Amino acid sequence: MEYYSRFPLNLTSTIALLVPALIFLIIKKWNKSRKPHISVKLPPGPKTLPIIGHLHLMSTLPFRSFRHLAEQFGPIMLLKLGEVPTIVISSPEIAKQMLKDNDPHFAGRPESIAVKIMWYDYKNIVFSPYSKYWRQMRKICVMELVGAKIVRSFGSIRNDEVSGLIKSIRLSSGKPINLTEKISSLISSITCRAAFGKVCKDRDTLTKLMKEAFRMAAGLEIADLFPSSKIISTLSWSKLRLLRMRRKLDVILDAIINEHKENLGNGEFGNEDLVDVFLRIKENEELEFPIGKDNIKAVIYDMFAAGTETSSTTIDWTMTELMRNPRVMAKVQAEKLHPPAPIIFRASRKNEKSMDTSYLLKSGIGERLGNAKGSQVLTNPENFEPERFENQALDFVGGDFQYLPFGSGSRMCPGMTFGLANVELPLAQLLYSFNWKLPDGVKAEVLDMIENPGLTATRKITFSWFPPRMNRWVDNTLLSMKLGWKSHCQYYNLF
Ligand code: HEM
C-alpha cells in the first residue's frame, strides 16, 4: 500500500500558475513542432502526455515511482518531467558505463531554483557545474575538513558529543525522548564544531532551512519542471519562499563569518577550522578563482547540509530497522537498506559541444541492455538482511555499481570518511549502552517506514524512545550498566 501522495506539487500554487503557463507552453510547443526535427532512437518509456509529460506518474517519492516504472520499461528509461527529459538508470552495468567509462561527460548536476537561491548561484560543491572552480573548492574541503587525517583529528569532538548523547538518554529517566531529534542534533553539533569551530547557536534554524531546501531541490518544483518559462519562474511562490529563506540563511552565515573575522589571527596556525582557512586563503592571489563572501557561505552551508542529514538519516533508519528485526539486532551490522541519498543526480554537460542529453544515445550507453526488463540488483531488496553482505566482499566506495551509497566517479562523495566516522561511533555506543525494544503491546509491523520527499530520504514519521522507568529493577540495571551491562531502553512510535 502506498502511503505517499500521488501528485508531487503543492496544488494551490500549481493551479494558480498553470493556466497562464499552459497557454504559453502550448504556443511554444506549436512553434517548435513546425521546426524540422532530427530523430534519434530513444530509450523506452511510458506514453507521454502533452505539457506535463510523465508528471502524472510521479508520486511525492520519485525514487519509488522510478523503481516501479523501471520494472515495466527496463533499466534505462526516458521520462519527461514537465519539459525536462530525464533518463533513469537502474542497472549496475549502465551505471558503470555512465559513472566510470563516461565519467566526465556525466559529471554535471541538474539545475534547480532551490539550489540557485539557497547555495548562492551554484557556488557550492555539491551542485556546482563540473568546472575548475568546482575542483578548486572540492580540493580545499578535502584538505581542510574531510580528508582522512583531519577526520581522525576530530576524534575528541566525536567522543565528547557521543558521550553527551548517551548521558542524556540515561538521565531522561522515564520521560519520552525523541531519538531522531537527538541524533540530528548530535551530528549537526559534530559538523559545526569541525567546520565552524564551535556549536553554532542557530544550528536548529540552519537545520530547518536545510531540510526545506533539500525538499525543494529534488527537481519537482514547478519552476524546475518548466525551466524555459519565464512566467512560471517569475510568478513562482517557491521562489518567493526561497528568497525569504535565503535572507534568514544570510543572517546566520554572515554572523559566523564575521565572528571568525574578528578572531582571525587569535588562534594558532594549523588549529584553524574551515571558515578560518577560507578567510586566510581568500587573500591568496595564487588562487585560480578568487573567493568572495558568497563562495565561503555557499561552501560552508554545503558542508553543513551534506554532512548532517546524510549521516543522521543513516543512523535513524538503522535503529528503526533494528527495532523491527530483533533477530538482526543481535548481529548488528549497518546495512544501508535506506541510502540517505536515494538518487544520484547527474546531468550531461551542456556547455561542451556534443555533450547534450543525446550523447547518452550517440555513445551507445545502455544499447545492449536497453530492452531488458527490470534487472534486480538485490534479492528481496525491501528486506533488512545484513547477512546478504556476510559472504561477499561488496565494495561500497564506488567500485561495485550495484551498491553506491556514496556515488562513484569524479563527483563521488568526498565526505565518506567523515560520514562513516559520524555514523559508526554513535551507532556502536547506542547499541552497546542500551537494549532497545518496543514497549509491551507495540508490534513491529505498525512502525511506519515511509520516507520524506527530497534530496535525502529521511524517515517521515519520527519517534520517541522511552528510556527505563525508574523502578528498583531498572536502578539495578543502571548500576550494572556501569560495570559494562546494558540498560533497557524502550522504543515508542508517535503515530
Ligand atoms: C553517511 C554519510 C554520507 C552519504 C551516504 C553520502 C552520500 C553522497 C552521495 C550519494 C553523493 C553523490 C555522489 C555522486 O554523484 O556520485 C554525495 C556527494 C557529496 N557529499 Fe556526501 N554523503 C555522506 C556524508 C557526507 C559528509 C559528512 C560530507 C561533508 C562534510 C559530504 C559531502 C559531500 C559533497 C561535498 C558531495 C558533492 C561532491 C561533488 O559533487 O563533487 N557527504 N554524498
Interface confidence (ipTM) of the complex: 0.98
Ligand 1 site, residue 310, Cβ cutoff 6 A? yes
CB 165 within 8 A of CB 427: no
Pocket flag, ligand 1, residue 417 (CB < 6 Å):
no
| The one-letter amino acid at 45 | G
**Radius of gyration for the chain, computed over Cα atoms and rounded to the nearest angstrom:** 24
- Tell me the C-alpha distance between 162 and 312, whole Å: 13
Q: Does residue 341's CB lie within 6 angstroms of at least one atom of ligand 1?
A: yes
Q: What pLDDT is attached to residue 384?
A: 78
- 3 state DSSP class of 404: coil
* Cα of 416 from ligand 1 centre, angstroms: 7
The ligand 1 atom at the shortest distance from the C-alpha of residue 410 is 41
Burial class (CB in 10 A: 0-12, 13-18, 19+), 111: middle
Measured from the Cα of 302, ligand 1's closest atom is 35
Question: Strand, helix or coil at 23?
Answer: helix
414 CA distance to ligand 1 centroid (A)? 6
**Distance between Cα 302 and ligand 1 center (Å):** 10
Q: Is the CB of 125 under 6 A from ligand 1?
A: yes
Name, in order, each residue with C-beta under 8 angstroms of 280's C-beta and a sequence gap of 6 or more.
264, 272
The answer to whether the CB of 315 is under 6 A from ligand 1 is no
CA-proximal residue: ligand 1, atom 17 (nearest): 413
Binding site membership of 398 for ligand 1 (Cβ less than 6 Å): no
Which residue among 144, 183, 310, 316 has the greatest number of ligand 1 atoms within 8 angstroms of its CB, and so is best to mutate?
310
Question: How far does the centroid of ligand 1 lie from the alpha carbon of residue 150, in Å?
Answer: 17
- Residue 239 CA to ligand 1 center (angstroms) comes to 26
Q: What are phi and psi of 493, to 5 degrees?
A: -100, 130
* H-helix or E-strand spanning residue 218: none
Ligand 1 contact via 78 beta carbon (within 6 Å): no
Ligand 1 center to residue 426 CA distance, Å?
A: 19
What's the CA-to-centroid distance between 187 and ligand 1, angstroms? 15
Verify whether ligand 1 is closer than 6 Å to residue 277 (CB atom).
no
C-alpha cell at 367: 544499447
Output the pLDDT for position 370: 39
Ligand 1 in reach of 303 Cβ (< 6 A): yes
- Whose C-alpha lies nearest to ligand 1, atom 42? 415
Which mean pLDDT values do the consecutive 10-residue runs of the chain (495 residues) have?
Answer: 49 54 59 54 90 94 91 92 91 90 91 95 96 96 92 95 92 71 93 92 94 91 91 87 97 96 69 89 83 96 94 89 79 62 76 46 49 54 77 80 90 95 91 72 72 82 44 25 33 31
Q: Say yes or no: CB of residue 407 within 6 Å of ligand 1.
A: yes
- Residue 17 confidence (pLDDT): 53
Alpha carbons 109 and 18: distance in angstroms, whole number: 27
CA of 220 to the centre of ligand 1 (A): 21
Supply the pLDDT for residue 472.
Answer: 25
What is the structure's pLDDT at 490? 41
